[in-house]
Amino acid sequence: MTDVHTDNKSAITPLRAAMVDFEEVSVRAELDRLIAPDAVVHMPHPFGDLIGPEELYDTCYRPLFAAMPDLERRDWIVMGGQTEHGDDWIGCGGHYMGTFVVPWLDIPPTGHLTHLRFHEFYRFVAGRVVEVQTLWDIPEVMMQADVWPMAPSLGLEFCIPGPATMDGLVPGPKDTARSDASCQHVVDMLNHMKKHPSQGGPEAMEMPRFWHERMNWYGPAGIGTGRGIAGFRNWHQIPFLNGMPDRGQYVDEITYHFFGDGDYCAVTGWPNMIQTVTQGGWLGIAPAGQRITMRSLDFWRIEHGKIRENWVMVDILDAYRQLGVDVFARLREFNKARPGGVIPFPVGDI
């Protein structure tokens, strides 16, 4: 007996397999097979919104494959489920990896193995993808190239691991009761989290009720990772709420897509946060009262009734864009004093 989510995971498997040993012909063929020609493909800044598989390949994958000729995709989370709106989504988390030898988005190559985290969400109708919401952690590549032109992260920057339990490729058949419980746990957690600061201090979030004391919060490059409630609070949440205390006040203007699968929960939304930068403290940004939207595409893993891991990706470059800073322009300013060019591949003698 099968179910639509297990079928959808199967439908995306050939594309994932083609990207493990990335080649243009096979990847194009699998993208065409999977993604409807008129599908809306939301990609992170600077790619913007694209239509259909060809534009996705030409705009995003072609330059990435040129930059990393031995490109490889590794998934550590593949999960699927239905949202409260009745939409069926598949969420994939993992890394693109390769030897970075050709400038990509004006980021100078490192000549070394380089990783780029992805969180990719695919909405299916009748076995085909009709909408994509994807974040690639482009600042992570800038940091590996040592050219991140903005303020340093408070959290740890590293190659973020997949689930500690190594069971992120959630197998079918779908365990609906368990999936719903995982999703409900996260929704309850977020409802409590939004009570702070508008309805009370940090205790209003009741974090120990929802989070494992040794949880890892894997934030996007630019924010970094924190461990434990204190790590999450100090390296991410405190400065985040200091800068934008009206977080969670405009929920009627955005749409969340939550779904659970086994011990995992995911959310996507384009955007799914709105807040106003009224104070200093977040990312070292000068506050000017700008109201910005954010795209946060997240995964959670539940262990014994508490969140043990949380993978968070935010389109930081799009947030900077809305605040009036073109991070790529600043990168190019620095590039004036850097050697440019292409590193021959393979790198060095064989």
Closest distance of CB 152 from other proteins, Å: 7
Q: Which runs of E-coded beta strand occur in the chain?
A: 35-42, 49-51, 72-82, 88-99, 113-125, 128-136, 211-218, 225-227, 257-261, 264-268, 273-277, 290-294, 296-303, 306-314
- The minimum distance between CB 121 and other proteins, in angstroms, equals 28
DSSP 8-state class, residue 20:
H
Query: Which CB sits closer to other proteins, 226 or 248?
Result: 226
Q: Which residues contact 112 (CB under 8 A, 6 or more apart)?
A: 99, 100, 144, 347
> Whose Cβ is closer to other proteins: residue 168's or residue 239's?
239
**Pairing status of strand 211-218 against strand 306-314:** parallel
Residues that bind other proteins (CB under 8 A): 148-152, 154-155, 230-231, 233-235, 238-239, 277, 279-281, 284-288, 290, 320, 323-326, 329-330, 333-334, 336-337
Nearer to other proteins, 29 or 323 (CB): 323
Q: How far is the CB of 201 from other proteins (least distance, A)?
A: 11
In this complex, which beta carbon is closest to other proteins, that of residue 289 or of residue 341? Answer: 289
For the chain, the residue count is 350
Name which of 40 and 147 has its Cβ closer to other proteins.
Answer: 147
Find where tokens 């007996």 sit.
1
- Compute, in degrees rounded to 10, the torsion defined by CA atoms 283, 285, 290, 291: 0
Q: Taking the CB of residue 32, how many other CB atoms lie within 10 A of it?
A: 15
Q: Which is nearer to other proteins, 153 or 268 (CB)?
A: 153
Buried b (16+ CB within 10 A) or exposed e, 306-329: bbbbbbbbbbbbbbbbeeebebbe
Quick check: helix, strand or coil at residue 139? helix
Q: Write down the least CB distance from residue 149 to other proteins, Å.
A: 6
Min dist. Cβ of residue 44 to other proteins (A): 19
Closest CA to 33 of 51, 15, 17: 15
Shortest distance in whole angstroms from residue 199 CB to other proteins? 20
CB of 243 to other proteins, least distance (A): 10
Sign of CA dihedral 125, 299, 241, 305: positive
Between residues 60 and 238, which has the closer beta carbon with respect to other proteins?
238
